[in-house]
Structure 1
Amino acid sequence: MQACPRKLIHLANFNSTNIGNGALIFGTERVLQQDWRAPVVFIPEPWDDYTFGLRHFDAGFVSSVNAADGLIIGAAVALNARDYLKNAGMRFDLPYALWPSISKPIVFYAISYRVWPYQEYHHLDQFKRAMEYILASPRIMFSVRNDGTKPWLESLLGYKSERIEVIPDPALYVPNVDSWHPELVQDKINFLISLNNEDEVYRFGGPLREQLWHVARPFVKERQLLSAMKYVPYWRSQKRKCLKKLVYALERLCHEWDLNFILCPHYFDDYKIISEFISMFPARLAHQRTISSGLLNVARAPYFYDLYAKADIALAMRVHSMSPAIGLGTPMVALSTQGRISDFLNIAGLQDFQVDFLDPDLAEKLHAKLHNVLQHRQEVKQKFEETRTAMRTQTLAYNRRVAAFVAQV
């Protein structure tokens, strides 16, 4: 007689048009279903509806969780220092008085952060109070991605905890559905480019922005600093110089390889930097060698990432261009603009597959790495397969513990 399936509420960005959320959703559910020893059913709960005020973390939400067998808080960026997160200081913004009302097990599954150096963390006291409850509760498992979130979080909290566990980014396991993609050109090297303009001032402000925040933030509100940066031309000039170096590296590659460039936006932020990039690209290459994919919502993630699976190489400025490429075995070089990318690659033993976007020698270093990866694609695929296999073993061990935890609590 087959056991009744476990019904788990999966809180994730189900209504998002940022396709990286799809990699997280499909990857998480795929491996949990594979590793659970009994049937499991996921009940989708759109986290983005709570972010935009369409739903609320209230007594009704608690009742929904208690009517299920447990709550999976999906692997999205949950720690982002936003001012409107007044209850718990994180995107799971449950009022403190309601936490004890949840009687079913809660699993924070590979959540992550996006907070830049010296950025103010709003409602830090509320966040610390929530984390104290989480880490003391026998009904909660708490895990973060293997992207540096744990040391960052422990530094913010002011203490270390063994209950903050680290597991692989589940976007490594995004499934792909075999499909036809009009962007791909037969008999050419199909080269995906994922650029990222999210949090532009923080991402490209570099040491100048960090120094300004470090000195001024105790006395000036962050909004004022962001407004002031609009009138500081230096960082925009640096961004343009780096884009020109990127263009130079790719133009050199075109003399050595028969490339078909596919610009691959993951969200609307990316269109601005794509436009800036194309304005610098030689007209012939833009006209004859370059195409763009389109935006899709998260439900189409298996189709979208099939484009990655069929590409020959990816240049990844986005986290969920990088980790799915690795998981799908697509040769990749990361164009790092944030610590989470560098930390993930360092932890994975793939530090040789990245270049810092703000590196003064970007053009030479990027050309050399891309050329080397193109020359050794099969070896790179094998390296990525070994990395995925090792991380999948870690994920399996954690998922088995999650299954036992949900069954016991």
Structure 2
Amino acid sequence: MDMRKLKILQLASFEGNIGDNANHCGTRSTLAKNLGVELEFTNLEIREFYWKQRKFDDQFAELANQHDLVMIGGGNYFEMWVENSCTGTSIDISIDLLKKINTPIVFYALGCDPGQGVSEQNVSKFRDFLDYVLSLPQFLVSVRNDGSWDSVNQYIGKKYAERIYRVPDGGFFTQVENYFHPELPLGKQVVAVNIAGDMLDVRFKLDGISSKRIRYEEFIIDFSQFVNDSLESNSELHFIFIPHIFRDIGVVSDILNAVNDSYRRNRITMAPYLHGKGAQEYIFDLYRKCDLVLGMRFHANVCPIGFNVPTIGLVNYIQIDNLYRELDLSERSVHVNEAGFSHKLNDMTRASLKNKEDIVKKYKEINMGLQQKINFFHKVMAEWINC
């Protein structure tokens, strides 16, 4: 193989979620640097397979064989709730089809979280799939650092997890240009807020076990009260709401409807809804220039941490809880689907703005470790490709 140039077919999400774009940007820049070769990517949108516009068939195998490497990921494609998939996951590629592909395939930093459910049938199908790909040198399997390795270990088995690499998500290494942002007021302390508007039935599910759990409507009341209280107690504070997908906008609207009108008009702004290649630079440069980020989505936490910007994880989905646990930052997260969260969030926000330098120092140490981990995995990839 000519290692001066590598033709890569990447199967992933490229449209619809700004976090995915940041992930790919960071992955590709670090991969190019660590492999020391020119990378030529062909983008293959995974949503086209969800929408049945494409199929995992002979045509897909033929396309894969026209490249030097197939990279599947990153993304949450190893979740085990997809009932009609032959693997039990979003990667609905049969073993018979894999046998028709001669190109090496890396499953790159994939998510495997149980947040939307796990069935025994899918566990069995996924185990069969891993039995095949882990037995051959043609395949390299890795999951991202959001609790996915622990999920494989718990549901699939230790002997499988021990053969799967755990690597940092590409979003930690995303790069952005410098932009002018009219959303940013001069001379203010700015808090960026990302609220997720998808899977609300999962995020605010009353589990019947914990009496602390609250409904979506209660969250809206409590979060808007947190905004009001924060702005009232700190005249230098400004909030920016940042949507990643269109569903986020509806939740932001619900919150703003319950916020003091004078604050809505003078001390709160909202970033534009952008998507697609390159758009991530404007949005994540905005995150980079804030004093604090309150993030509910995965990359609303990952990318600011990578920028050494203090964050507070807004937890109502297991993935964010696991992310902060893996980074040894659990104390920097708040469960916003539990009663009384607004008081804790208010205290953490004040303390974070006051102790910003200490948090930045800790994040720099974490990012040094993440850089070492991605460098090691890319070394493994380089040796694997050469073989």
> How high is the TM-score relative to the length of structure 2?
0.92
State how far apart, in whole Å, the 1-side matches of 2:10 and 2:93 are.
16
Equivalent residue for 2:364? 385
Say which SS state the counterpart of residue 8 (structure 1) adopts. Answer: strand
Equivalent residue for 1:41? 40
Equivalent residue for 1:186? 186
Equivalent residue for 2:19? 20
Matches within 5 A, 1:3-152: 4-14=4-14, 16-83=15-82, 85-116=84-115, 118=117, 120=119, 123-152=122-151
Give per-residue Cα distances to partners, 1:306-340, cap 9 Å, x unaligned.
11111221110111100001001222111111221
State how far apart, in whole Å, the 2-side matches of 1:11 and 1:106 are.
11
Q: Are 1:323 and 2:322 counterparts?
A: no
Give per-residue Cα distances to partners, 1:251-307, cap 9 Å, x unaligned.
222122412211111112212221221122112211221111122123111222111
Instruction: Describe the shift of the 1:113–1:6 C-alpha distance in structure 2 as closer, same or farther (beyond 3 A).
Output: same
Instruction: Name the aligned partner's letter for residue 226 of structure 2.
Output: A
CA contact (8 A) 1:9 1:44 kept: yes
**2:329 is matched with which residue: 326, 350, 357?**
350
CA contact (8 A) 1:206 1:358 kept: no
State how far apart, in whole Å, the 1-side matches of 2:120 and 2:287 are.
35
Q: Name which of structure 1's ranges 94-103 and 84-93 shifts more when overlaid on structure 2.
A: 84-93
Equivalent residue for 2:260? 282
CA contact (8 A) 2:293 2:312 kept: yes
Deviation at 1:143, TM superposition (A): 0.6
Matches within 5 A, 1:192-207: 192-207=192-207
Q: Name which of structure 1's ranges 91-100 and 116-125 shifts more when overlaid on structure 2.
A: 116-125
Greater relative contact order (CA < 8 Å, ≥ 6 in sequence): 1
Matches within 5 A, 1:256-405: 256-299=234-277, 300-405=279-384
Say which SS state the counterpart of residue 345 (structure 1) adopts. Answer: helix
Say which SS state the counterpart of residue 75 (structure 1) adopts. Answer: strand
Equivalent residue for 1:248? 225
CA contact (8 A) 2:314 2:333 kept: yes
CA RMSD for the aligned pairs?
2.1
CA contact (8 A) 1:81 1:121 kept: no
Q: Name which of structure 1's ranges 64-73 and 3-12 shifts more when overlaid on structure 2.
A: 3-12
Say which SS state the counterpart of residue 261 (structure 1) adopts. Answer: strand
Say which SS state the counterpart of residue 65 (structure 2) adopts. Answer: helix
Instruction: Name the aligned partner's letter for residue 298 of structure 1.
Output: G
Deviation at 1:99, TM superposition (A): 1.2
Instruction: Name the aligned partner's letter for residue 363 of structure 2.
Output: F
Deviation at 1:248, TM superposition (A): 2.5
State how far apart, in whole Å, the 2-side matches of 1:184 and 1:92 are.
40
Say which SS state the counterpart of residue 110 (structure 1) adopts. Answer: strand
Deviation at 1:86, TM superposition (A): 2.4
CA contact (8 A) 2:81 2:116 kept: no
Structure 1 segments (4+ residues) deviating >6 Å: none
State how far apart, in whole Å, the 1-side matches of 2:299 and 2:265 are.
28
State how far apart, in whole Å, the 1-side matches of 2:302 and 2:228 are.
26
CA contact (8 A) 1:195 1:273 kept: yes
Give percent identity, aligned residues only. 23
Deviation at 1:352, TM superposition (A): 1.8
Instruction: Name the aligned partner's letter for residue 44 of structure 1.
Output: N
Say which SS state the counterpart of residue 136 (structure 1) adopts. Answer: coil
Instruction: Describe the shift of the 1:121–1:341 C-alpha distance in structure 2 as closer, same or farther (beyond 3 A).
Output: farther
CA contact (8 A) 2:113 2:151 kept: no
Say which SS state the counterpart of residue 29 (structure 2) adopts. Answer: helix
Deviation at 1:136, TM superposition (A): 1.6
Matches within 5 A, 1:219-238: 238=215
State how far apart, in whole Å, the 2-side matches of 1:350 and 1:158 are.
26
Say which SS state the counterpart of residue 298 (structure 1) adopts. Answer: coil
State how far apart, in whole Å, the 2-side matches of 1:5 and 1:295 are.
36
Give per-residue Cα distances to partners, 1:17-55, cap 9 Å, x unaligned.
211111111111111011113333222222222222222
Aligned length: 382
Instruction: Describe the shift of the 1:121–1:111 C-alpha distance in structure 2 as closer, same or farther (beyond 3 A).
Output: farther
CA contact (8 A) 1:331 1:377 kept: yes
State how far apart, in whole Å, the 1-side matches of 2:258 and 2:311 are.
23
Deviation at 1:396, TM superposition (A): 0.4
> How high is the TM-score relative to the length of structure 1?
0.88
Deviation at 1:343, TM superposition (A): 1.4
Structure 1: unaligned runs, 5 residues or longer: 212-233
Instruction: Describe the shift of the 1:134–1:3 C-alpha distance in structure 2 as closer, same or farther (beyond 3 A).
Output: closer
State how far apart, in whole Å, the 1-side matches of 2:202 and 2:266 are.
34
